[in-house]
């Protein structure tokens, strides 16, 4: 008798045995062998083993021949960060990073009295974006190079091999703090590989490479704290929808203009500034996707073609309406009051149209003062930076703007025309 046939015979009997509410006590006679006793006596300690064996035999008796079990989903092992991960990323970009020294000699009114002239030296960083010597950096790193009080000034660029060149400023954009300079190298320059800053997430590891305090080819390691930090810099310039990558890492004077890279060795941002004072390790970088659009416009047009819609927009917050209510008797629409009750005093729920340029795109589209813009191109907008970012440098193209008017909401299509900021966008 095979094991499977035995299991089919024993299984019903054992089931009846286990279903009874009383127990058996069996006293074998002297003539009973030990094997017979083991067969007839349901000893508790052997019961789990017997059940497992019968369950297997019972199931196997109904198994179809040549059948296969479904494949098990095997999870990949967790990715472990190699001790060389940061070093490997830095090695990929170091040959493309440069040190920029701004040397300025100013006229001295007392020079005829044999007093020395005033010489200023400042330091920054940059990186090659082409093989013909074009370097991307911050505008403030190369600023004041055309002051009329200067007698002699130049940019000195030192590349990773130690060679030194004099660079020329090709174009700057003060609003985004981006500049392009160029050196005439004897051979092709190693350009960086650009990443996709739109795909970044808070918490990702990043590395800043540059020349902090003139210490060339230095790197610092950290993480992305947040990916869309809206900063009110108070420069009086339109930021053009620029939101920064907030970094938790050491960024010091001289790091400005240097690349912020991922662990793949790809540039995902331009290190630009840090929080001064008691705060430690809070820095900011311009997303490389934004920088690419600025560079493209600077190289093709000599200025950044930012969209102009002819609207003055104000962020709608409970705190703002509370101040307005104190000075006037204005009462916001019911839907707006309801939304503001569900948010904190500083958070915006939309952008109110405060003023409209007559004959501008917004005026032609039929927008009115008091309308609240809540979305652009299906992207929710609560700040002017988000509004401009949603426009995404689009000019002469139709964009969908969703507004709330009274208790209703409707979509408006407007035609955007470029805003020429020739005072802050310059090709030298």
Catalytic center residues: 140, 177, 256
The β-bridge partners of 156 are: 101, 166
Element housing 169 (H / E):
strand 164-173
> Is the Cβ–Cβ distance between 388 and 240 less than 8 Å?
yes
Q: Which residues contact 311 (CB under 8 A, 6 or more apart)?
A: 353, 355, 356, 357, 360, 362, 367
Closest CA to 270 of 169, 167, 197: 197
Collect contacts of 315-323 with beta carbons under 8 A, ≥24 apart.
315/348, 315/350, 315/351, 315/352, 315/382, 315/383, 315/384, 316/340, 316/348, 316/349, 316/350, 316/351, 316/352, 316/372, 317/345, 317/346, 317/347, 317/348, 317/349, 318/343, 318/344, 318/345, 319/345, 319/346
User: Which residue in 206, 273, 285, 199 sits closest to 242, CA to CA?
Assistant: 285
Closest by Cα among 123, 158, 154 to 141: 123
End-to-end CA distance of the chain: 98
Please say whether the dihedral angle defined by the alpha carbons of residues 3, 4, 10 and 11, taken in this order, is positive or negative. Answer: positive
Question: DSSP 3-state assignment of 88?
Answer: helix
DSSP 243-295: -EEEEES---TT-TT-EEE-TTS-EEEEEEEE--SS--SEEEEEEHHHHHHHH
What is the rounded distance in angstroms from the CA atom of residue 246 to the CA atom of residue 252? 15
C-beta of residue 312 within 8 angstroms of C-beta of residue 355: yes
CA distance 38 to 184: 96
């Amino acid at each position: 008798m095979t094991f499977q046939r035995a299991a089919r015979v024993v299984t019903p009997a054992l089931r009846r045995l286990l279903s009874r509410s009383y127990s058996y006590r069996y006293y074998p006679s002297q003539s009973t062998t030990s094997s017979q006793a083991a067969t007839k006596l349901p000893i508790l300690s052997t019961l789990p083993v017997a059940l497992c064996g019968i369950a297997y035999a019972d199931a196997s008796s109904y198994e179809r021949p040549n059948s296969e079990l479904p494949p098990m989903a095997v999870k990949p092992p967790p990715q472990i960060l190699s001790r060389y991960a940061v070093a490997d990323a830095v090695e990929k970009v170091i040959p493309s990073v440069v040190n920029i020294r701004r040397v300025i000699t100013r006229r001295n009114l007392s020079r005829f009295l044999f007093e020395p002239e005033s010489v200023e030296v400042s330091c920054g960083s940059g990186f090659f974006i082409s093989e013909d010597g074009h370097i991307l950096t911050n505008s403030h790193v190369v600023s004041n190079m055309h002051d009329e009080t200067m007698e002699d000034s130049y940019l000195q660029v030192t590349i990773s091999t130690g060679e030194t060149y004099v660079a020329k400023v090709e174009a700057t954009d003060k609003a985004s703090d981006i500049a392009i300079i160029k050196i005439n190298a004897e051979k092709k320059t190693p350009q960086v590989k650009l990443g996709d800053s739109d795909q970044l997430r808070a918490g990702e590891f990043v590395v800043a490479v540059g020349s902090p305090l003139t210490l060339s080819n230095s790197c610092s390691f950290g993480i992305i704290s947040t990916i869309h930090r809206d900063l009110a810099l108070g420069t009086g310039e339109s930021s053009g929808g620029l939101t920064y990558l907030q970094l938790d890492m050491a960024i010091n004077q001289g790091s400005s203009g240097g690349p912020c890279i991922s662990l793949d060795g790809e540039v995902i941002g331009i290190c630009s500034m840090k929080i001064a004072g008691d705060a430690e390790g809070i820095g900011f970088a311009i997303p490389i996707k934004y920088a690419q659009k600025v560079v493209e416009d600077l190289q093709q047009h000599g200025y950044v073609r930012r969209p102009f819609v002819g609207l003055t927009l104000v962020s709608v917050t409970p705190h703002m309406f509370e101040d307005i209510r104190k000075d006037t008797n204005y009462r916001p629409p019911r839907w707006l009051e309801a939304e503001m009750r569900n948010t904190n005093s500083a958070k915006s729920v939309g952008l109110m149209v405060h003023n409209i340029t007559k004959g501008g795109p917004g005026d032609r589209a039929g927008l009115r003062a008091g309308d609240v813009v809540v979305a652009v191109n299906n992207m929710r907008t609560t700040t002017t930076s988000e509004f401009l970012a949603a426009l995404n440098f689009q000019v002469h193209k139709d964009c969908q703007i969703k507004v709330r008017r009274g208790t209703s909401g409707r979509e408006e299509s407007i035609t955007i025309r470029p805003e020429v900021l020739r005072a802050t966008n310059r090709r030298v």
